[in-house]
């Protein structure tokens, strides 16, 4: 019976050694697979980073193109709107010089506004009505001139060339 116990103990030790060795091999395989997965993940991370960088560059380029086209469209639209707006305001409120302020001619607009206000104050003397009438006629003429010019002529003459009167 002692031999049976000894054989049984040896068998148990052999099984335990086999289990340890199997666990060690399995651990090595798991470690190797984990290392491979880590390498794969690292490679995927590099690829993802490169793709993200490429996408960001494309997005920046698209945004720049959009911004440039929006600026160009705004400048074209602003020129048309200034022409029509300045023309209509010149015809309706010409004596106040508002059309001059719209085009950025602040000094000329201030002169027209000042002469009109002085004319309103002096209207009881009689000469004031004449001053207001002159400023109204100037505004009317300028408004008509603005509206009869082509877009290119208006832009070149009044926005680029900065021609303040007529």
Considering the domain boundaries, does residue 120 fall inside one? Answer: yes
Considering the domain boundaries, does residue 139 fall inside one? Answer: yes
Confidence at residue 71, expressed as pLDDT on a 0 to 100 scale: 58
Using CA atoms, how far apart are residues 65 and 57, in angstroms rounded to an integer?
A: 12
Contacts of 159 by beta carbon, 8 Å cutoff, 6+ apart: 79, 82, 103, 104
Confidence at residue 49, expressed as pLDDT on a 0 to 100 scale: 82
Angle between the N-to-C axes of helices 127-148 and 106-121, in degrees from 0 to 180, rounded to the nearest 10: 150
The parent domain of residue 97 ranges over: 2-160
Considering the domain boundaries, does residue 110 fall inside one? Answer: yes
Confidence at residue 136, expressed as pLDDT on a 0 to 100 scale: 92
Confidence at residue 79, expressed as pLDDT on a 0 to 100 scale: 52
Considering the domain boundaries, does residue 165 fall inside one? Answer: no
Considering the domain boundaries, does residue 92 fall inside one? Answer: yes
The parts of the chain modelled with pLDDT lower than 50 are 77
In the chain, the number of structural domains is 1
Using CA atoms, how far apart are residues 13 and 22, in angstroms rounded to an integer?
A: 14
Across all residues in the chain, what is the average pLDDT?
Answer: 81
């Amino acid at each position: 019976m002692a031999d049976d116990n000894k054989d049984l103990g040896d068998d148990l030790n052999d099984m335990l050694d086999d289990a340890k060795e199997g666990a060690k091999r399995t651990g090595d395989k798991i470690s190797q697979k984990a290392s491979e997965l880590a390498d794969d993940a690292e490679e995927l991370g590099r690829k993802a980073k490169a793709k993200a960088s490429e996408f960001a560059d494309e997005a920046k380029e698209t945004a720049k193109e959009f911004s440039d086209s929006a600026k160009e469209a705004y400048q074209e639209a602003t020129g048309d709107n200034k022409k029509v707006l300045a023309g209509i305001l010149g015809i309706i409120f010409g004596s106040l010089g508002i059309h001059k302020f719209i085009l950025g001619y602040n000094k000329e607009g201030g002169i027209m506004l000042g002469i009109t206000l002085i004319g309103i104050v002096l209207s009881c003397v009689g000469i004031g009505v004449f001053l207001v009438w002159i400023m109204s006629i100037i505004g009317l003429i300028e408004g008509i001139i603005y509206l009869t010019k082509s877009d290119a002529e208006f832009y070149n003459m009044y926005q680029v060339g900065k021609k303040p009167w007529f």
